Amino acid sequence: MALVTTLLPLTPPQQNGVSERRHRHLVETGLTLLTDAHMPLKYWPYAFQTAAYLINRMPTATLNNQSPFAKLSNQRPNYLKLKQFGCLCYPLTRPYNKHKLEQKSKSCIFMGYNLSQNAYLCFEQTTKKIFTSRHVIFHESTFPFQQPGHNNDPSSPSVE
C-alpha cells in the first residue's frame, strides 16, 4: 500500500479530485476482491492492501503504459506471482511447527502479499493465524468462504 499513498497529493481528498478518484478506485477494488471471494467485510484491511498491491502493478496511461511499481523500482512486475484473492491455498508451515511430526502444510485462505518479502499471506481458519510463506500451492477455483455452512466467526486473525 506504500506506493499508492506516496503517489497521492498532500491536500485533503475533498479538495483534490485526483486523490478522491484514486481513493475511490482503491476502495472499489478492495470491495470487489471481498465480494468475489465471498469474504466478510471484517477482512477489509487485507483486501485493501491487496488492491493497492495490484493497482501499483497495473500499467497506466499516465505513466506511458508503465506501472507505478516499474516506474519507481526500474524493474518489471512479476505477473506470474498474482493469485486469486480469497482462494484455497496450502502454504508450507514447517517453519511454524513446534514438532517435526506435525503436518507440513495446512488448508488456508489466500489473503494477499507480504510487502517486505517475496511471500504470500495465508489465513488458517481454525487457529485464526496468518502464515507468511513463499512456498504455497493454490487452488484458485475454490473459495472456502463460499462453502455452505461456513463459520463466519467475528474474531479477527492474528499475524504470526
Longest dimension (CA), the chain: 59
pLDDT band at residue 48, thresholds of 50, 70 and 90? very high
pLDDT tens across 98-125, in order?
A: 778 777 888 999 999 998 999 999 999 9
**Nearest Cα to 88, choosing from 147, 36, 140?**
140
| Average pLDDT over every residue of 81-103 | 86
Can you give the pLDDT at residue 73? Answer: 92
Instruction: Report percent pLDDT > 90 for the chain.
Output: 62
3-state helix, strand, coil in the chain (%, to 5): 40, 20, 40
Asked whether residue 156 carries a pLDDT value surpassing 60, the answer given is no
How many other C-beta atoms can be found within 10 angstroms of the C-beta atom of residue 40? 13
Can you give the pLDDT at residue 154? Answer: 45
Domain that includes residue 65, residue range: 2-8+15-159
Whole-number Å distance between alpha carbons of 123 and 50 = 14
* Tally of structural domains, the chain: 1
Torsion, CA 100, CA 101, CA 104, CA 106, rounded to 10: -120
Can you give the pLDDT at residue 119? Answer: 94
pLDDT tens across 126-147, in order?
A: 999 999 999 999 999 999 998 6
The chain-wide mean pLDDT, for the chain, equals 85
Can you give the pLDDT at residue 50? Answer: 97
Alpha-helix runs per DSSP H in 8-124: 17-36, 44-55, 68-73
**What's at 93, amino acid-wise?**
T
Q: 82 or 146, which is more confident?
A: 82
pTM: 0.79
